[in-house]
Structure 1
């Protein structure tokens, strides 16, 4: 089986950076050196869609920073640097890498709240802070997570000399982490800053036309499947969820790292018990459980018997993903667009009210976009293929009709 685990992908000794990626790492290091002694903190943001290599770049960058910090003649010598990520499953991967490379230690990798509280308590500033999945930073207070400020990025800037972070606004999946371009610009405006946009797709072997189709679905638009949808990529649509599950299990036996996932909209409560998804064809599987191990959920063999969610799969590669679109998503017969039925939401934590959004229409749009963002995140997990099933009969029929048309046109 190919070794494309998250740990292997992010290990600096496994990186084969493209010229663009290497140039970006060098550019950020130059930016860091230039602004390290500035009067104000400086921030460098990297924007990019799912699978554009953001985490690989940050992993290599942090490795370079830590090596430079221990070189006496280097401009970065003696710097105290941190790597932050607000996703417990992704954090496990980085901490697993710690110690395998010189000067990269487990204590360097923290959740943002831990970093903020630790440096406040010690009354000091960090030199360089690298933030992966910055779109998961809290943008409002969250007492449950012991964050009492108004915005985590704003707090991190106060505690740092240079901040480097990646953003993907289409991966914002909770209201308490809500970000858009205007909100980010408001935070960074007072500080020296640069931005870089990544566009090349590294994860999926899908054609640009199929990726464009996925982008449209994630915005509620159901375009005709492109003629090359199955070129070098295993794209399928299923009429029942159980057949999809069996196909993913078979793929998992063949190549590993293949999982069934679903968008929110099925019963689920953080009460320690199992909550099942029941679908057509006799499909009956439990949601993913909280993962207390050091191994990422998708790399635990037994999780082939669970349904993954954004909480366990965001930020990770799978070889094949079987995506179930939940009852929240339906095809509107009036305009043939994919809509969100918020009356069927089951994850209250994901869509909690924000005190700073008082217009009901604006908040409703925010919640609908967050649900569509979860489609974007899960639809783009598969390196080799994605298998798709929709709960809504009208959406399922539309997808199946177009898929059958595609198969017939490719096999005249």
Structure 2
């Protein structure tokens, strides 16, 4: 299906699927980016190696551009016209995120040029090609910052770096990379690490700057970035984007339920500060009068967590919403996010962070405590930037809750 065939999407429960579909309407800038990606692939398809990097904040449309370009490349690869530059090429889109794989495969079911098998997890792709001595022509990677940077035998990856292995198995690699979304030590990336790995490989970088998810004035994203960096700015000015501070998490949840009833895709999220064990039992987020179970692990469910009707009665984690759009997000800041009255700064305390798996494996970074706080700040940034229409915030820490309440009272 070519970009000339477009759909208009309403804000219903299927909107997050549609907004990553190759049929979704693109801006002129995005159309040019898709053309640039395809042109890069055509230019380098007969080279030994080449890499194109798409960089940009959460919500800048990286995944949509990536999937649209991938769809057009697959259309050319499967065309009967053997004179096309990418005819007959073997191409795959990888993403190391089980919920995103569901989303992509659900999209592929309705696009004639795509197959569900076109989308794979990196470990499956690497192990299959190593076993068959195969080679891919073009590999697209969404959320490349989630690729493993060390061995993970539990998940059947035994080499030292997933991107390094993918580079050995493909002529052309096109990847979305955002080091601010690194969430675990075993996949710990920064720009320096990436550049070292790509040294000697022809590489181009495209920066995406337009914000398509968070439909707000720039002061909202400035506030979010500053908060994740430990600074408290005056709250964003009143605007169409609904930015609110709550003293009661239960009240926030009831408002999220009302938003979900009105326009769908509205969910409660929390920092990973409440006990959660994958043992088949329900686990709960408890703060004040609020008591609600964490998201249930349902890997066999055909829908991603954010699109399941029952998930309105659950609290989502960074792992269930990374890469997804919501209309409204109610964010609970747990015990690891506190406030220092003396310095008027946000404190991230790893001792209260319940995601112990995030800190498994000591990397080459020198200061482990700083690296832990970096991972926590990244997770916070991810959940703060899920919503298109409104961000609602509640703080478990009493001092932080009081400081945010004061800022709310001083809001212009």
Normalised by the shorter chain, which TM-score bucket?
over 0.9
Partner of 1:21: 30
Partner of 1:2: 11
1:366 maps onto 2:375 in alignment? no
Which secondary structure state, in structure 1, belongs to the residue aligned with residue 31 of structure 2?
helix
Partner of 1:286: 293
Distance in 2 of aligned mates of 1:397 and 1:353: 37
What does 1:292-307 align with in structure 2 at a 5 Å threshold? Answer: 292-307=300-315
1:32 maps onto 2:41 in alignment? yes
Q: Deviations over 1:343-401 (max 9, x none)?
A: 212211011132534x3xx2211110111111110011111101000111111111111
**Deviation at 1:116?**
0.2
Partner of 1:328: 336
Partner of 1:202: 212
Name the Cα RMSD after superposition.
1.2
**Deviation at 1:80?**
0.3
Partner of 2:167: 157
Say if 2:282 and 2:294, in contact at 8 Å, map to a contact too. Answer: yes
What does 1:5-404 align with in structure 2 at a 5 Å threshold? Answer: 5-13=15-23, 15-38=24-47, 40-71=48-79, 72-226=82-236, 228=237, 230-280=238-288, 282-291=289-298, 292-357=300-365, 359=366, 362-404=367-409
Counting matched residue pairs gives 399
Q: TM-score, normalised by structure 2?
A: 0.95
Q: TM-score, normalised by structure 1?
A: 0.95
**Deviation at 1:102?**
2.2
Distance in 2 of aligned mates of 1:355 and 1:205: 37
Structure 2 residue runs without a partner (length 5+): 1-9
**Deviation at 1:173?**
1.1
**Deviation at 1:103?**
2.9
Q: Deviations over 1:117-160 (max 9, x none)?
A: 01111101100000111111111111111111111111000000
Structure 1 residue runs without a partner (length 5+): none
Say if 2:339 and 2:346, in contact at 8 Å, map to a contact too. Answer: yes
Distance in 1 of aligned mates of 2:253 and 2:359: 28
**Deviation at 1:6?**
2.2
Distance in 2 of aligned mates of 1:354 and 1:37: 39
Say if 2:185 and 2:363, in contact at 8 Å, map to a contact too. Answer: no
